[in-house]
Amino acid sequence: MRYVFRLVFKDLLKIPHELTSDLDAFQSSDAHKMVYAEKPWSDDLYFKSTGFLFKRGVDSVELNAFDYEGIKAFFPVYDVESALPFDVFSSIFYLVSRYEEYQPYVPDKYGRFTAHLSISSKLGILQKPMVNIWALMVKKIIMKRYPDIVFPVLQYRFIPTYDIDSAFAYKQKGLVRSAGGYLLGLKRFDWNDIVHRTRVLLGRTKDPFDTFDLQIEYQKRYQLKPVYFFLFGHYGQYDKNINTRNRTFRFLIKKILDYARIGIHPSYNSGEYPQLLYQEIASLEKVVNKEITISRQHFLRLMLPHTYRNLIEADISDDYTMGYAALPGFRAGICDSYHFYDLDLEMETKLRIHPFMVMDGTLCDYMKLTPADAIAQIEALIEEVRKVNGTFISLWHNESLSEDKRWKGWRMV
């Protein structure tokens, strides 16, 4: 229970608070007070509890969603003295803890919990930061009851992030992979790809995935502070990165480090084999000569709680995986960072989660949107984040800025 109150009051509303279960201490205090319980113990501000936060273990839950003041609400309560007709703190905990992902579900072909399975998608609220919205409802109620409490003014923020799955399309691939690329082009009768590959390898034109100078230009022009995640594992079925011993690739990473924060993009199988994760982090640390503490899972392969436990064991402090591949929106219902709560162990961890709202591949590959429609989707999400003065995080790839093949026309996005 303490976890969710820290999240609401410390992380989201940013005001000091003290929690007590000592009724005598509570009643004798002269401070502004509120009660969260199954019944009011005083005439102070009262939020009725359903008891959900006091339960142990993970069990099936009936949310009983309903509409309240034009938005969805969970865990209805029936008490005229309650400041809200629903248990707002249980609702918040349910979403941020990803309670539903601890229930049995049918994963997709990559082993992921998909957007379409989520309660937020089914209720049509995936594109709204419900946790932030509910927290602001609490703030409004407190301000009405205690108008002398001063809440800090929060500011909207934007953090662009890049996943570097493959730094180059044709260059630095080695003789065998380059020959394989030519054979594939011949098999498909893709003469444009063959010509383009040849021109790049002969140095007559720039590699289409090499958009890093453009990224740096954007960063300087718009005063951005991006975060990069480099895939730095061995080549495999789902890991098509450049050889980690390649000097050009290593030089690129060092160059990006001069302009941005760098994290690990753990390889596809690192979730099942944690030793791979440790090796990849150590290898990247040797290149940048500094500790790597941030990450985002390749293919967004997040399996709770095991993925996060592995990251904690590897001394990762911040993770940026919380989001869906198939749909944009707010997977945990929140647009601010927060600490991971391990439901199985019933404890708050030191791992800080930074949820992202939209990924380029979601818009282009999953939703098959045009660039214009993609812009409309993104603008709507940004507006939702602005309303609550939250943090908008986008996920892009170097290749989606290339104006090449399926990404033609997407640079404007």
Report pLDDT digits (tens) over 310-355.
999 999 999 999 999 999 999 999 999 999 999 999 999 999 999 9
CA triplet 172, 175, 180: central angle to 5 degrees? 100
Distance CA(15)–CA(194), nearest Å, equals 60
Domain extent, residue 12, equals 2-145
Question: Count of CB atoms within 10 A of residue 233's CB?
Answer: 23
At 391, give phi and psi (nearest 5°). Answer: -115, 120
Q: Do 164 and 31 belong to one domain?
A: no
As given in the structure block, the two tokens for residue 325 are 């591949």
Residue where a domain terminates, one of 145, 180, 206: 145
As given in the structure block, the two tokens for residue 134 are 């509910």
For residues 125 and 134, is the Cβ–Cβ distance under 8 A?
Answer: no
Q: Based on the number of CB atoms within 10 Å of its own CB, is 190 exposed (0-12), middle (13-18) or buried (19 or more)?
A: middle
Check residue 342 and give its pLDDT: 97
For residues 74 and 91, is the Cβ–Cβ distance under 8 A?
Answer: yes
Domain assignment of residue 268, yes or no: yes
Q: Based on the number of CB atoms within 10 Å of its own CB, is 215 exposed (0-12), middle (13-18) or buried (19 or more)?
A: buried
Q: Do 255 and 397 belong to one domain?
A: yes
Domain assignment of residue 152, yes or no: no
Burial 94-111 (b: 16+ CB within 10 A, else e): bbbbbbbbbeeeeeeeee
Residue where a domain terminates, one of 145, 172, 190: 145
For residues 262 and 253, is the Cβ–Cβ distance under 8 A?
Answer: yes
How many independent structural domains does the chain possess? Answer: 2
As given in the structure block, the two tokens for residue 256 are 């990006």
For residues 68 and 27, is the Cβ–Cβ distance under 8 A?
Answer: no
Residue where a domain terminates, one of 145, 177, 193: 145
Domain assignment of residue 412, yes or no: no
Q: Do 317 and 176 belong to one domain?
A: yes
Residues above pLDDT 70, as percent of the chain: 98
For residues 330 and 387, is the Cβ–Cβ distance under 8 A?
Answer: no
Domain assignment of residue 76, yes or no: yes
For residues 298 and 238, is the Cβ–Cβ distance under 8 A?
Answer: yes
Check residue 398 and give its pLDDT: 97
Q: Do 167 and 283 belong to one domain?
A: yes
Q: In terms of DSSP bridges, do strands 391-397 and 157-164 run parallel, antiparallel, or are they unpaired?
A: parallel
Burial 139-173 (b: 16+ CB within 10 A, else e): bebbeeeeeeeeeeebeeeebbbbbbbbbbbbbbb
Domain assignment of residue 413, yes or no: no
Q: Do 128 and 199 belong to one domain?
A: no
To the nearest 10°, the Cα dihedral for 253, 254, 255, 257? 90
pTM listed for this prediction: 0.95
Name residues of the chain where pLDDT drops below 70.
176, 178-182, 185, 191, 195
Per-residue pLDDT tens over the stretch 202-247? 788 899 999 999 999 999 999 999 999 999 999 889 999 999 999 9
